[in-house]
Chain A
Amino acid sequence: MTAMVKAEGVHKSFGAVQVLKGIDLEVAPREVFCLIGPSGSGKSTFLRCINHLEKINSGRLYVDGDLVGYRQKGDKLYELRDREVAEKRRDIGMVFQRFNLFPHMTALENVIEAPVQVKKETKAVARERALKLLDRVGLADKAGNYPSQLSGGQQQRVAIARALAMEPKLMLFDEPTSALDPELVGDVLDVMRGLAEDGMTMIVVTHEMGFAREVGDSVVFMDDGVVVESGHPREVLTNPQHERTKSFLSKVL
């Protein structure tokens, strides 16, 4: 079985600053894969490399067996055209820390935008599925509201529905609950838990250790651009082997 995401020696630097210093990991299909670690450890950057929002400097990154951002012919790499990159991104849903809903569109318009504009679905078809998705995230009655009329938790659930509307095979979550009031975190995590139960492959950058322990199939602890420790959540979170992991967990748990 091909891995859904496979990283081999992924390096990324912004100018002189090295953010990722050789990441190797594999995410299996249907797996819920949690990335934890302190701020600035490179978790979000790695996530953004997976759908080519950031270009990697060396190493190889594969999604569902295909190289990200390049085509290999013989031993030569060819950069993909913008159109080809966009095509690959359709299959990868992304949820951002700051939601990034389109403020000039209602919740429903946000969800149908990509299916209609990118996949060329008819409005009726897209609308029907969008309403189902909004119902699934518990916001069927908010379809006509603009993002500014929704709470943070509601906005993030619309953002999840928007990503799901493209029927992705992989979902990336970039600290989806970090910008939320504590009491709103639960609703978003419930939606994510439901997705995991349905067998969606998910990579989640998170500070919610409870979620990682209950829902995660594996956890990777990153620090300073490298993977320090990885394994089953129960092992990594309750019985960490490395000093760095221990001190991090003692602060957040």
Chain B
Amino acid sequence: MTTKIDKADPVDTPPPAPENIKAIPVRHYGRWITAVVAITLIVTLVMAFARGDVNWGAIPDYFFDKEVLRGVRNTVWITILSMALGVVLGIILAVMRLSKNPVTSSIAWGYIWFFRGTPVYVQLLVWFNLGLVFNYINLGPIYKDEWSDFMTPFLAALLGLGLNEAAYMAEICRAGLQAVDEGQTEAAQALGMSHAKTLRRVVLPQAMRVIVPPTGNEFINMLKTTSLVIAVQYWDLLQATTNVGQNTGATAEMLFLAAAWYLILTSVLSVGQYYLERYYARGSSRSLPMTPLQRIRVNLLSGSNRQGGVSA
């Protein structure tokens, strides 16, 4: 009986805890020394920048400048669109590469070989300068225009980044699809599911667990790679800040500003990636790990409990 009451209300009568060991902990002098050295180096670096001829005030002044914001918007926009193009095309290429049809799998292989084997910067320039070899674009009755009007900086940036990304996404998706146990396909087929349904309902959702983390990395990478579209004169964040820098003379300051914006954007993406990974991990482990918010809440609660226990 008494044990039952104990369990119901542990605060009133705490169970007799075994005595904790009291020992002199090992002193880690090495850790203290490295910490001091590291902090000294950082302080020196900060001081150097503080003493340098940097017009820090220019950064907040132009942080929300209209042109800079337009650059931010364009950077986010081209990142999302290129990634969307890359993911969709990547999935198609991965399925083609794994298909039993030797023609489609060879085409996919060739695509990946070409687009992964040449620098993205070169690809961007090639798209932009294709007008040198094509005067017109002629899609029969659907569309006809002069090449220079058709290949805008936006389209060149989108094709250059998106088609390049597709090659990487294809390999990521292929790895994901191949990571799913063959027994899963067999079980689905034994139930009478078609190939397409097996892929969509059983294999892909499980492949996502393998695909999402590297795709998150690709997304963050893409955001930074968009700074190359300055080569095709697309008005992205770097182009905007460079422009402001040239007009105001605060060139270095505007680069710091661009770096700050890129950091903010990649941080936001990292948080999104965390929650997406968590979603696709469902069923793979017995219980999902807590989100940072949940962890903070639990820590606060247990902290107050512990205090209660001590005071009792």
Chain A residues engaging chain B, CB cutoff 8 angstroms: 51, 53, 82-83, 86-90, 92-94, 96, 98, 100-106, 113-114, 117-118, 146-149, 159, 162-163, 166
Contacts and interface: CB of A to CB of B under 8 A. Distances in A.
Q: Which of A87, A113, A159 has the most CB of B within 10 A?
A: A113
Interface stretch (B193-201, B243-251, B303-311): B193-201
B194 A86 contact: yes
Contact of B186 (A53, A147, A166): A53
A227 to B, nearest CB: 24
A96 B191 contact: no
A103 B191 contact: no
B232 to A, nearest CB: 41
A104 B282 contact: yes
A71 B83 CA distance: 47
Given A104-B282, A149-B286, A53 B192 contact: no
Given A96-B183, A113-B201, A104 B283 contact: yes
Nearest to B205: A104
Contacts of B187: 94, 96, 100-102, 159
B80 interface: no
Ranked 5 nearest A-B pairs via Cβ: A90-B192, A100-B187, A114-B191, A94-B190, A146-B283
22 contacts: A53-B189, A83-B194, A93-B190, A96-B187, A100-B181, A100-B187, A102-B206, A104-B205, A104-B206, A104-B283, A114-B191, A114-B192, A118-B192, A146-B283, A148-B283, A148-B285, A149-B286, A162-B191, A163-B190, A163-B191, A166-B191, A166-B192
B184 interface: yes
A100 B183 contact: yes
B183 to A, nearest CB: 4
A175 to B, nearest CB: 13
A113 B194 contact: no
A44 to B, nearest CB: 12
Interface string B87-128: 000000000000000000000000000000000000000000
Nearest to A159: B187
Contacts of B194: 82-83, 86
Contacts of A166: 191-192
Given A96-B183, A96-B186, A98-B183, A148 B286 contact: yes
Given A102-B184, A113-B201, A117-B197, A86 B189 contact: yes
Interface in B198-255: 201-202, 205-206
A86 B188 CA distance: 10
A51 B190 contact: yes
Interface string B261-289: 00000000000000000000011111000
Given A53-B186, A96-B187, A113-B201, A103 B192 contact: no
Interface residues of B, number: 23
Q: Which of A51, A104, A147, A149 has the most CB of B within 10 A?
A: A104
Given A103-B206, A148-B285, A86 B186 contact: no
B193 A86 contact: yes
A118 B197 contact: yes
Contacts of B192: 86-90, 114, 118, 166
A89 B187 CA distance: 11
Given A90-B191, A148-B286, A100 B186 contact: yes
Contacts of B205: 104
Given A94-B187, A162-B191, 18 more contacts: A82-B194, A86-B192, A86-B194, A88-B192, A89-B189, A90-B192, A93-B190, A100-B183, A100-B186, A101-B187, A102-B187, A102-B202, A103-B284, A104-B206, A114-B192, A118-B193, A118-B197, A148-B284
Contacts of A114: 191-193
A46 B285 CA distance: 35
A14 to B, nearest CB: 15
B259 to A, nearest CB: 40
A16 B194 CA distance: 30
A181 B280 CA distance: 30
Contacts of B188: 102
Contact of A53 (B181, B190, B197): B190
